[in-house]
Amino acid sequence: MSQLQKRLAALTDYLIVPKAFALWASNAEDPHDGCAFLARTPRLATVVTDGPHGCIFCTRTNPEVRHFPAFAVDALDTNGCGDTFHGAFALAIVRSLEVEEAITFASAAAALKAIAAGGQHRGWDALPTLDEVLQFLQATLDGPERSALLAKLATLRNPAELAG
């Protein structure tokens, strides 16, 4: 890894990096410490992904480093799960969801990518649709925040679709 990568990481408002990068950049042995180190650069959110262990994150409004566990699934193909997480997170942020909500959505999308439709799909064909992610979350989430989160996640649909 290069010093250029460190300089580029300092320029982003939403930094999402794998655990290996966080440990390298911070010289830490624990991803929580790596996340805290990376969060010293002012940004809206710092997220350190750790595959089946979920992610560690903090935000500008809540600088406490917290853990978000991955959804428990029988992973068949993890190739592309990180990219799926990044894309789903970006969609959620662009549609004005809070960081924690974006992490939930992105984690669900990555979990579905890992399931690979029960091994029936690979590559691009294993990318989940928005409706699949929403159905997965509806079946998986519980607790008082469930309805509010699912309602907010429904806003991820294309606004043109909603008008038509």
Asked if residue 16 is part of any domain, the answer here is yes
Kindly state the percentage of the chain with pLDDT values over 90: 51
What pTM value is reported for the model? Answer: 0.86
- Number of domains within the chain: 2
Unique residue bearing structure tokens 């079946």: 139
pLDDT in tens, 54-88: 999 999 999 999 999 999 998 877 888 899 999 99
Q: 164 pLDDT band (50/70/90 cuts)?
A: very low
The structure tokens listed for 148 are 């509010």
Are 36 and 87 found together in one domain? no
Residue 37: the pLDDT is 94
Mean pLDDT of the chain: 85
| Cross-strand pairs, 18 | 49
Asked if residue 162 is part of any domain, the answer here is no
Residue 90 has pLDDT above 90, yes or no: yes
Residue 163: the pLDDT is 45
Asked if residue 51 is part of any domain, the answer here is yes
Are 56 and 96 found together in one domain? no
Q: Nearest Cα to 136, choosing from 162, 114, 161?
A: 114
Asked if residue 150 is part of any domain, the answer here is yes
Asked if residue 21 is part of any domain, the answer here is yes
Q: For residue 56, what are the domain limits?
A: 11-70
Are 84 and 145 found together in one domain? yes
3-state secondary structure the chain: CCHHHHHHHCCCCEEEEEHHHHHHHHCCCCHHHHHHHHCCCCCCEEEEECHHHCEEEEECCCCCCEEECCCCCCCCCCCCHHHHHHHHHHHHHHCCCCHHHHHHHHHHHHHHHHHHHHHCCCHHHHCCCHHHHHHHHHHHCCCCCHHHHHHHHHCCCCHHHHHC
Residue 118 has pLDDT above 80, yes or no: no
User: Is 69:103 a contact under the CB 8 Å cutoff?
Assistant: no
96-100, 127-131, 149-153, 157-161: least confident range:
157-161
Strands 14-18 and 45-49, bridge-based pairing: parallel
Residue 131: the pLDDT is 87
Are 40 and 115 found together in one domain? no
Are 127 and 78 found together in one domain? yes
Asked if residue 164 is part of any domain, the answer here is no
pLDDT in tens, 139-158: 888 877 777 788 887 777 76
Which of 70, 89, 105 marks a domain boundary?
Answer: 70
Are 56 and 15 found together in one domain? yes
One-letter amino acid identity for 154? A
Are 80 and 59 found together in one domain? no
Residue 8 has pLDDT above 90, yes or no: no
